[in-house]
Amino acid sequence: MDAFSLLKADHRKVEELFEEFESASGQAKMRLFQQIKTELELHTHIEETIFYPAVEEPKPTHDLTLEAYEEHDVVKKLLQELNRAKNPNEEWEAKAKVLQENVEHHVEEEENELFPKASKVLSSEELESLGEQMESEKARQQRSGSKSSKKSVKKSASKTKSASTAQKRARTSKKSASKSSSKSSGSTKSRSKKSAKKR
């Protein structure tokens, strides 16, 4: 798959997710946002590490590539801000709309301006090579992403275990503390009785 075909396929996938996102609500909307975020992060990563460096130097594509980097920064900031929310409120919905509009504008500019100019500065062999590189890097990122999510699940499970163990320990230490205090109070009582008898 050449670079343009791969990137366009990514663009269509994100467009479909945004269409679903518009009609969704509540937690379904949050889940779709997470999917969009994952797709956009992967896409921007392969563009910035493989595709843009290949089209940054040639004069016809130089300015458009620099602009694309800047547009990516805006998208990344919006993703970070949106990711902090637990539930979609009005403000969150408005910010999500801004994200969608930014992504749509970026896609339009890439496909209608950057790609046609890039096709003049890159040979078909180079485009094929870039496509293969991006495809393998995308697969590598997805593998490492699934590993890290598994690790975080394991970590949270072990945290829960250790927390419950700590709670059990705390309870047993409380019990033993209350037993020893009742024993000591009992022995104090018996001492006071003995001393009263002596008198």
CA 74 to chain centre: 16
- pLDDT of 152 reads 53
Q: How many angstroms separate the CA atoms of 52 and 121, rounded?
A: 13
The b-or-e profile of 22-50 (16+ CB within 10 A means b, else e) is eeeeeeebbebbeebbebbebbbebbeeb
Q: Are 161 and 70 in contact (CB under 8 A)?
A: no
Higher-confidence position of 96 and 26: 96
Q: How many angstroms separate the CA atoms of 121 and 14, rounded?
A: 27
Q: Domains of the chain by range and CATH?
A: 3-150 (1.20.120.520)
- pLDDT of 172 reads 47
Q: How many residues does the chain have?
A: 199
The pTM assigned to this predicted structure is 0.72
- pLDDT of 194 reads 45
